[in-house]
Amino acid sequence: MNLLWLQSGGCGGCTMSLLCSEARDPLGQFRDAGIDLLWHPALSEPTAAEALDLLEGCAAGRTPVDILCIEGAMLRGPHGSGRFHRVSGTGRPMTEWVARLAAQARHTLAIGTCAAYGGIPAAGENPAEACGLQYDGAIRGGLLGASYRSRSGLPVINVAGCPPHPGWVIDTLAALAAGELREEDLDALGRPRLYADQLVHHGCARNEYYEFKASAEKPSDLGCLMENLGCKGTQAHADCNLRPWNGEGSCTRGGYACVSCTEPGFEEPGHPFARTPKIAGIPIGLPTDMPKAWFVALAALSKSATPRRVRENATADHLVVTPAVRRTGLK
Amino acid sequence: MRLVVGPFNRVEGDLEVTLEVEAGVVRTAWVNSPMFRGFERILSGKDPLDALVFVPRICGICSVAQSSACAQALAAAIGVEAPENGRLAANLVLAAENLADHLTHFYLFFMPDFAREAYRARPWFDGTTERFRAVTGSAAAEALPARMEFLRLMGFLAGKWPHTLSIQPGGSGRAVQASERIRLIALLRRFRDWLECVLFGATLEEVAALEKAAALDAWCEAHPGSDFARFLEIARDLDLHRLGRATDRFISYGAYPLAQGHLFRAGVWDGGLHGLDPGAISEDISHAWLAGDEPVSHPCSGVTAPDADNAGGYTWCKAPRWNGRVMETGALARQMVHGHPLIRDLVAHDGGNVAGRVVARLLELALVVPEMERWARALRPGEPFCSHGELPREASAAGLVEAARGALGHWLEVSAGRIRNYQIIAPTTWNFSPRDRDGMPGALEQALAGTPVAPGERVPVAVQHVVRSFDPCMVCTVH
């Protein structure tokens, strides 16, 4: 299968993340999956006129594009002209190239939240008129339109994340190459369910602090980041704490809040990222699927039951009280 | 003859270079950074601490450097200083990114050009093709896993890479525990082994101790077969030391703050060493697709207002200047300013050039990994990693750091508790600057003048060496 990868209004971080793939280097993984890399801006030899010949062949339908990966937001400005990103050597807007290529592609993938929904460049006044391939924030549409389907019949596959975990990209490509990714394998926002059916909360190393509502108050504290420091791990769709990042990590393991970067509109949460919005002392954003009254009742109960160990460690940067040593066998 | 070269790949982000070619050499060059996102405008009006979420996402390859500059500016505004652990952890994270970038540049971006058909007749062609050809070469298959294992440091200290929030104004939000420190030391040792076996074929200390161009030549003879020696052999055959000379004026903001000062000092070199005066930095918008009342401003009062119809513009990039002068920045500049004897000697012979820029990057791998080992050993689990303080409602501050590609500055103004102005000058903004109002071309534009173009070459290979020798990061350049 031929894979063509282009970058537009993003930071290149999705590719950088991909290069950290743990199972095997991504070039080897592509080969194993039967994927031929037609062109990638960071990896391939052809440049300038050589690359343009190749792109033109793809856009004109002469070279089949089985998998089209687009990284970065679509920059429609200024005033809808697309001139905020013209493809070098062509003078034409990237948005025009992407539309031509997407019309030919068997599968179209948005790599990262920018390409999926607009992402970070769409924050604030959205100076570049950024949007995603098939979404403008949470609204279907985007550059290609709500009704777009690639030649396979699938909508744009949104491998959202800022950046996406390398495994999300590799697994999605491998599933496509094996003919194993169907429309029902995508969630309501077009994300592959192979990672989006989990919550960031699942497997979080701070779970004991969460259980007892023993909360961190400042950066470097060990406690749960939800109550004070803006963490959205109980609502964010991704398997970040089940599938480690860079071998060992995740945002919450790294000492900071999940900002729900796989979600449309995460760039404008309506509150400072590292401060939890509350009403009457209770966080507004409660865990997904949990009735509010139960959450409030359980939180009050668990707070009153918090062991001294968990309470004191929650606001320290290392264990100040270690677990009691006791025999666990039945007497 | 006019030649438009783009899309210029194996650089980070989008680049287009226009060349006026006469009698087989480039006479004049214009460098275009063709993408604008508008981070400085996005940041306007935000909660100042939210900048820590936005700025790393300017660039996926200089993500930590952007975080570090932002954290430094916020720390200055708050008036907080990191405890020793926090300083060391932040240095480790930034050094890991910078060194991984040097490795990525060498193996994935720069070396594959020597496997091009244009070099088929060279004696080193077959070996180079097997080793360095893009996508299929054996070197990428070895370098990518080594890089991946090295970047596990980010899993420990930064949660993930790119785009961490562990870098805080008061140090690091990720305190290292005792067993993690031991694993960090092991991880660094493993990376050292890889560099010593594959890249250098010698100890890091041996490479770091090279002091003269002649010693480098002798070392190359004595260590055939290492990837560094392969490069030196190619560089000598192709006279890469005579290619891509720019202004020979170098700027460094100083890298890796330690209790006793920077590991690599800050300053400016223009034949002699000067202190860094940040007040002498300005940006000129005369040749950018930008509007503004003032053609030249200090970044404290800089404005970023896109104007795609600005008649004088040919890029989205501003033109940074130091005392009105064009500067080159990067590993070569950093080691020139710091005074590494080998780099000073190479530049004394041939000025800043393609070969010297690559040597300086690899030299930094040899210089910094042993420092990282020292920093990791100096971490004291159980002692604080982060200090805390309140951000005032009014503040003006700057953060100046060294990214892999050189001098990165953030200038922050806070008013009524919100960001009033945020200005960024990235390393490649310096190197790939357009002309200023006096018509003075930027560093790459100067470096390209005189580059040979063979008859019929659609994509001149020497031009590619010159451009990629700067390891440009175009997403940072315009941001």
pLDDT in tens, B37-62: 999 999 999 999 999 999 999 999 99
Q: Phi-psi bin for A231: left (phi > 0), alpha (psi -120 to 50), beta?
A: beta
Closest by alpha carbon to B202, among B187, B217, B224, B186? B224
Q: Is B32 on the interface with A (CB under 8 A)?
A: yes
Q: Write down the ipTM of this complex.
A: 0.98
Contact state of A75 with B36 under an 8 Å Cβ cutoff: yes
Output the pLDDT for position B150: 98
- Chain A CA closest to residue B173: A220
The fold of the A2-195 domain, in CATH, is: Rossmann fold (3.40.50)
Chain B partners of A45 at a C-beta cutoff of 8 Å? 112, 115-116, 133-135
For residue B225, give the 3-state DSSP assignment. coil
The helix (run of H) or strand (run of E) holding residue B431 is helix B427-431
* Amino acid letter, A59: A
- Domain ranges (residues) in chain A: 2-195, 198-317
Domains A2-195 and A198-317 share a fold: no
Contact state of B384 with A11 under an 8 Å Cβ cutoff: no
Q: What is the mean pLDDT of residues B300-320?
A: 97
Residue B328: strand pairing partners = B250
With a cut of 90, say whether residue A331 has pLDDT above it: no
The fold of the A198-317 domain, in CATH, is: Cytochrome-c3 Hydrogenase; Chain A, domain 2 (4.10.480)
Task: Using alpha carbons, list the distances in angstroms from residue A89 to A40, A163, B18, B285, B430.
Answer: 16, 28, 9, 23, 23
Chain B partners of A16 at a C-beta cutoff of 8 Å? 60-61, 63, 161-162
Tell me the nearest-neighbour CA distance from B215 into chain A, angstroms.
Answer: 33
Does this model's pTM top 0.80?
Answer: yes
pLDDT in tens, A219-254: 999 999 999 999 999 999 999 999 999 999 999 999
Interface probe for A, chosen from B16, B18, B35 (most Cβ of A below 10 Å), is: B35
Output the pLDDT for position A286: 87
How many CB atoms within 10 Å of residue A57? 14
Chain B partners of A82 at a C-beta cutoff of 8 Å? none
Output the pLDDT for position A33: 95
| Residue found by looking up tokens 């109960």 in the block | A301
Tell me the nearest-neighbour CA distance from A69 into chain B, angstroms.
Answer: 16
pLDDT in tens, B181-221: 999 999 999 999 999 999 999 999 999 999 999 999 999 99
Interface probe for A, chosen from B31, B165, B166, B167 (most Cβ of A below 10 Å), is: B165
Output the pLDDT for position B148: 98
pLDDT in tens, B224-272: 999 999 999 999 999 999 999 999 999 999 999 999 999 999 999 999 9
Give the pLDDT band (50/70/90) at residue A137. Answer: very high
Give the pLDDT band (50/70/90) at residue A24. Answer: confident
Q: Is A323 on the interface with B (CB under 8 A)?
A: no
With a cut of 80, say whether residue A14 has pLDDT above it: yes
Give me B97's structure tokens. 């990114």
Compute the CA torsion angle A69, A73, A74, A78 (nearest 10 deg): -160
Give me B413's structure tokens. 């103004």
Is B91:B375 a contact under the CB 8 Å cutoff?
yes
CA–CA gap between residue B370 and residue B203 (Å, rounded): 11
Give the pLDDT band (50/70/90) at residue B273. Answer: very high
What is the pLDDT of chain A when averaged over all its residues?
Answer: 97
Residues 6+ apart with CB under 8 A from A300: none
List the single residue in A21, A127, A251 with the smallest CB-CB distance to B159. Answer: A251
Give me A291's structure tokens. 């009735």
Q: Work out whether the CA dihedral B361, B365, B370, B371 comes out positive or negative.
A: positive
CA–CA gap between residue A145 and residue A136 (Å, rounded): 10
With a cut of 90, say whether residue B320 has pLDDT above it: yes
Closest by alpha carbon to A257, among A281, A283, A291? A283
Is B60:B474 a contact under the CB 8 Å cutoff?
no
Is A84:A75 a contact under the CB 8 Å cutoff?
yes
Q: Give the HSE-up count for residue A191: Cα atoms under 13 Å, Cβ half-sphere.
A: 26
CA A13, A15, A20 angle in degrees (round to 5)? 95
Contact state of A15 with B60 under an 8 Å Cβ cutoff: yes
Contact state of A44 with B135 under an 8 Å Cβ cutoff: yes
Q: Is A9 on the interface with B (CB under 8 A)?
A: yes
